[in-house]
Amino acid sequence: MDDQALRESLHRAGYIADEGLATTLWLASELQRPLLLEGDAGVGKTALALALAQCQGRRLVRLQCHEGLDLAQAAYEWNYGRQLLAIRLHETTTERVAESDLFSRDYLLERPLLTAISSEQPCVLLIDEIDRADEAFEAFLLEVLADYQITVPELGTLTARHVPLVLLTSNGTRELSDALRRRCLYHWLDYPTLAREIAIVRSTLPTAESALVEQAVAFVQRLRREDLGKTPGVAETLDWIRALHRLQMKALPDDPQALMATLGCLLKTREDRFQVGPERVRQLIEGRRVVGVAEKAATA
Amino acid sequence: MQNAIASPLESIAGFATLLRDHGLKVGIAEQQAFVRAALLMPVERAARLDAAWRAIACQDARDWRRWPELFERYWHPNRLKGGVRVSGQTRPQRDLRQVVQTLQESLGDSTPRREPSSRALHTTLDTALDVPGHELAESGTPRAQGGASCAEALHDRSLAEWLPQDLTQLDQLAERIARRLRERLTRRWRDHARGTRLDVRRTLRASLKTGGLPLAPVWRRPRREKPRVFILVDVSRSMETHAQLFLRIARAFVLAVGARVFVFHTRLAEITPLLQRDSATVQEKVNAVTAGFGGGTRIATSLADFHGVHARAQLNRSARVWVLSDGFDADEPERLAEELAAVRRRGAQVTWFHPSENRPASAAMQAALPLIARFVRLNSLRDLALAADVLH
């Protein structure tokens, strides 16, 4: 599948990717390299993995990273309870249980990384928010990402039957190590352009009025140029337009007061709510921007 | 015209040199990946190599933003405005489509999507990379077009002469300094696989699933913390030419180590929240904060406000106070020593950064000399790089 075909199949799965992203995904698949996706929250990093798995008919294995994530939660763990039970059961019989029997795959609990490595079918492995995990865990990942294998001391090295397509996402809350970055291809997911965002909303909310979608997306695009603490992402745009659609709106109202109650979908901090008052909302609806103390009409 | 076309591998190696000159980490492995991507890409879609190579060469958002300009400069210099043409000098022609086609013909066995054998790739790449670096630079970097860019020159350039894009190097330096800051032990404990103390409660809790056998003991060790950094930037009239760039340095440390930043001349104000996000209006906001301060510099008064009000609860033996000032104080000379002594009594270490060649020699500074751990000259990137060795 070339990059154009991949882009189209992603489109069918509900993800509107630009050409650059499609090329990067195609390259990651061809070179069998993991892809590190960075970008602000809400630009569609996780959604890309879901759509990719869906369009390629692969299983999605997801590892959600957090502080304190360790090997037992991410890769594998021995099923101690079952091992003890096996020992007790053998105590009632005359035959002795061999140590190698206790440390076999039967007693190994697979966690996401091992699940992806030992999957019978090709899968998509999503390592979400890698920046939230500790540096020690990042170092452990190097073996998995470089050679697609996991070493279990009692069993040996388990190598992937099918190389999974690995996507790592990061919000940049912590600087990732150079070693990890060098093993990955990199893509910065930016906020979508006006046309792409309209296409995304239309594909997700096909029943919303066309005028409403265009005006609301243009409003959000203008809002992103404001000096906000938390810039609204695509997820926020979708939430907001969904809310407006539920309120039976056919287009953005002229009266900003009618919108104020719904702005909670877009503005997530107190400072941002304070900054974007009714007057500013009116200017954003009309497409005016403030330059110094003067207002300028929007250019066509 | 045909003889002016450089070989594809040389072109790619030259491009890699240009990328390295601009701080991108492009080694042999990345160049091999460039070639592999070019071999996989159908000739008619050669333009898509831009996105493919970008994914290979870039490792963070900074590289990502810089890429389009570097790519255009190397592969499509004619499209760039403001380039300088040197008459009589030939510029090697670079055509991506031709590079892909020639590569696929020479390495790909005429099947464009075939993976080349890695040994063949190594040999050919090594031959290409045998070309001395300076020759590549001459053919590949914009020197031939008159747009000189030399890392060493930037290194020595005074802060006041920096261009905005040069400041990205500052961020890297700040991160390096942040990593070198010595961690201190605290009285709190945290889980650690190589800890020295057994956490009995959690070990017993974990043993429940193994029938009471503590197979997975939980260990703890004292928590280590990076020192807390406070940066005080003098924005008085005498520091006008330096203040803006000192603020940029301060911003780099806000991002790298979570420093708290204050500005002062007659009064003190905290500006950390303004520096935490990248905004075009930061400078305007800082100006707005300091607009009503009036002339003169009252370092001692500002320091009193700093340790008595703003940093009262956080000044301890792991605190680092970095003052960026020329040391000209309008307060009584002995007051500066008194206030610095108050900061020292809390255990904090004071470092004084001065833009001048010699350390500040005002009367106030003379009295305060024993209370300042070190003086550091700060007027160029080299100064900051040298300071990295003494800041810990």
Taking the CA of residue A255 and the nearest CA in chain B, the distance in Å comes to 29
How many angstroms separate the CA of residue A242 from the nearest CA in chain B?
Answer: 30
Q: What is the pLDDT of residue B61?
A: 85
Minimum Cα–Cα distance from A189: chain B residue: B61
Count contacts between A and B (CB, < 8 Å).
73
Interface of A with B (CB under 8 A): 2-3, 19-21, 23-24, 27-28, 30-31, 33, 35, 38, 68, 80-81, 84, 136, 172, 175, 178, 181-182, 185-188, 227, 229
ipTM over 0.90: no
Q: How far apart are CA A265 and CA A267, in angstroms?
A: 6
Look at B51 and A19 and tell me if their CB atoms are within 8 Å.
yes
Beta-carbon separation of B56 and A80 below 8 A:
no
Read off the pLDDT of residues A18-34 as tens digits, 9 standing for 90 and up. Answer: 899 999 999 999 999 99
Q: How far is CA B256 from the centre of its chain?
A: 9
**Would you call A149 helix, strand, or coil by DSSP?**
strand
Q: Cβ–Cβ of B40/A185 closer than 8 Å?
A: no
Which residues contact residue A72 at a Cβ distance below 8 angstroms, ignoring those fewer than 6 apart? A111
Q: Do B277 and A229 touch (CB under 8 A)?
A: yes
Based on the number of CB atoms within 10 Å of its own CB, is B150 exposed (0-12), middle (13-18) or buried (19 or more)?
A: exposed
pLDDT score, position B86: 54
* Nearest CA distance, B58 vs chain A (angstrom): 6
**pLDDT attached to residue B5:** 55
Asked if B118 has any chain A CB less than 8 Å from its own CB, the reply is no
Bigger pLDDT: A75 vs B290: A75
Inter-chain contact B60–A38, Cβ cutoff 8 Å? yes
Residue B36: is it exposed, middle or buried by C-beta count within 10 angstroms (0-12/13-18/19+)? buried
* B254 C-beta neighbours (distance < 10 Å), count: 22
When pLDDT is averaged across residues A56-77 and rounded to a whole number, the result is: 90
**Mean pLDDT confidence for A250-264:** 85
State whether B59 and A80 contact (CB < 8 Å): no
Interchain proximity A31–B37, CB inside 8 Å: yes
Contacts of B116 in chain A (CB under 8 A): none
Work out the mean pLDDT of chain A and round it to a whole number. 87
Q: Write down the pLDDT at residue B135.
A: 39
**Both tokens of residue A144?**
């998995």
pLDDT beneath 70, residues of chain B: 1-6, 80-93, 107-168, 277-285, 287-295
Write out pLDDT tens, residues B313-372: 888 888 999 999 888 888 888 899 999 999 999 889 999 999 888 888 888 888 888 899
Top pLDDT among A300 and B68 is at B68
Q: Which residues contact A14 (CB under 8 A, 6 or more apart)?
A: A51, A54, A203, A204
Q: Dump pLDDT digits (tens) for A204-255.
A: 889 988 999 999 999 999 999 888 888 899 999 999 999 999 988 888 887 8
Q: In angstroms, rounded to a whole number, what is the distance separating the alpha carbons of residues B173 and B26?
A: 19
> Scanning every residue of chain B, which has its alpha carbon at the shortest distance from the alpha carbon of A22?
B51
- Point out the residue among B25, B209, B281 whose CB comes nearest to the CB of A182: B25
Residue numbers of B between 21 and 60 with CB closer than 8 Å to A: 25, 29, 33, 36-37, 40, 42, 45, 48, 50-52, 54-56, 58-60
B15 touches B75 (CB < 8 A): yes
d(CA B11, CA A300): 42
pLDDT of residue A274: 85
Nearest CA to A31 out of B314, B17, B52 is that of B52
Q: Which residues of B touch A2 (CB under 8 A)?
A: 42, 45
Considering only the beta carbons, identify the residue of A3, A31, A80 that sits closest to B36. Answer: A31
Using one digit for the tens of pLDDT, what is the confidence trace for A132-148? 998 888 888 988 888 89
